[in-house]
Chain A
Amino acid sequence: MENPLEQFAIKKLFPWQVNGVDLSFTNSSLCMIVTIAVIVFSLLLALRKSAIVPTKGQAFAESIYDFIQGMIGETLGHEGVKFVSLIFTLFTFIAVGNMLGLLPYSFTFTSHIAAVGTLSVFCLILNIYFGIKHRGLRFFRTFFPEGLPIFMAPLIIPVETLSLLAKPFSLTIRLAVNMSVGHIMLEVLGTFIMAMGLFGFIPLVADMCIIMFELFVTLLQAYIYTTLSCVYLSQAISDEE
């Protein structure tokens, strides 16, 4: 039986070392570039003839944009307008990356903690930046809310710091684990199709059902990732304790 974890192996396509630092171009990098190319090309194609009465492609692209705008409106309110392009990029990158990972012989970069973690840490840095920009030094009140007695500081400050640092971690683990588990299940059931011979249709049907479910999960996970990024951003820029 083939190792179901082999599909997550990083393969170096163009090895490159700079002062002992590995900067190789890998299958993960290739998949990220393909994802960006697919998003840019399909959006350009859909919006090349923008009109008041939209074509199907334009309506589809606009409906994704409306969806993101609605999501941001719910969590960030009017303040969120300037973040629409950032969240739209984040959502499409994760959703398309997840979906491309379902294709045979492709690679799911969203199942790697390193790839998703980088995005999540980037979100955390943005949260801190916009938090300080909007609230000034009051942002640091997050670590020690107003009204608490000073002797509570040694307890509250580490708890709040851990709570802040855990945000990118929870975002990363949720997405990476969900994507990995789905792909492992598909691979395991796939090996049973040939092994069971005449009765191979049973795991085949199960595999088909899981692929449909995975398709739903890819979009759901992208939605959850972006919604929670918005929630964390709203917590950083709002004055509510």
Chain B
Amino acid sequence: MNESEKDIADIDARIKKLRQKHKKSEHKKSKTAKLWENAVRIAAEFVAPVFVGISIGYLLDKCFDTRIFFMLILAIFGLAAGMLNVYRAAKQIEKDIDRSEQ
């Protein structure tokens, strides 16, 4: 192996080392961002359908002059939808964790 080939091999080894270091720090950063995302996501996933249900119920009650009938019914449906959303989000997070561990 002459001098220039040695230099190229040396540069290759250094690039590989830097790439590995970069990959590790990137993985750490994306893991933190994912944790933040999951924490913020779950709460909103639960609350949002309840709010939407109550809002639609309020409008329907106003339209049909039915006091709080639709609001109550749609709030219950919203609660169920919120629980379903949280379950789905948790399943998605579990899938993501499994994929990142592989």
Chain B nearest CB: distance from A49 CB in Å? 25
Main secondary structure of the interface of A (DSSP, over half): helix
Main secondary structure of the interface of B (DSSP, over half): helix
Q: Which residues of A sit under 8 angstroms from B77, Cβ to Cβ?
A: 158-159, 162
Q: Which residues of A sit under 8 angstroms from B44, Cβ to Cβ?
A: 170, 173-174
Decide: B84 and A170 in contact? CB cutoff 8 A.
no
Would you call B90 an interface residue if the criterion is a C-beta within 8 Å of the partner chain's C-beta atoms? Answer: no
Given contacts A159-B80, A163-B81, contact A174 B40 (CB under 8 A): yes
Number of interface residues of A (CB under 8 A): 20
Would you call A224 an interface residue if the criterion is a C-beta within 8 Å of the partner chain's C-beta atoms? Answer: yes
B37 partner, pick from A162, A165, A227, beta carbons under 8 A: A227
Decide: A162 and B92 in contact? CB cutoff 8 A.
no
Decide: B36 and A162 in contact? CB cutoff 8 A.
no
The 8 A CB mask of B74-86 against A (1 = contact, 0 = none) is 1001101110110
B48 partner, pick from A155, A159, A166, beta carbons under 8 A: A166
Decide: A166 and B41 in contact? CB cutoff 8 A.
no
Q: Which residues of B sit under 8 angstroms from A170, Cβ to Cβ?
A: 44-45, 47-48
Q: List the interface of chain A (C-beta within 8 A of B).
A: 74, 155, 158-160, 162-163, 165-167, 169-170, 173-174, 220, 223-224, 227-228, 231
Q: List the interface of chain B (C-beta within 8 A of A).
A: 33, 36-37, 40-41, 44-45, 47-49, 51-53, 56, 74, 77-78, 80-82, 84-85, 92, 96
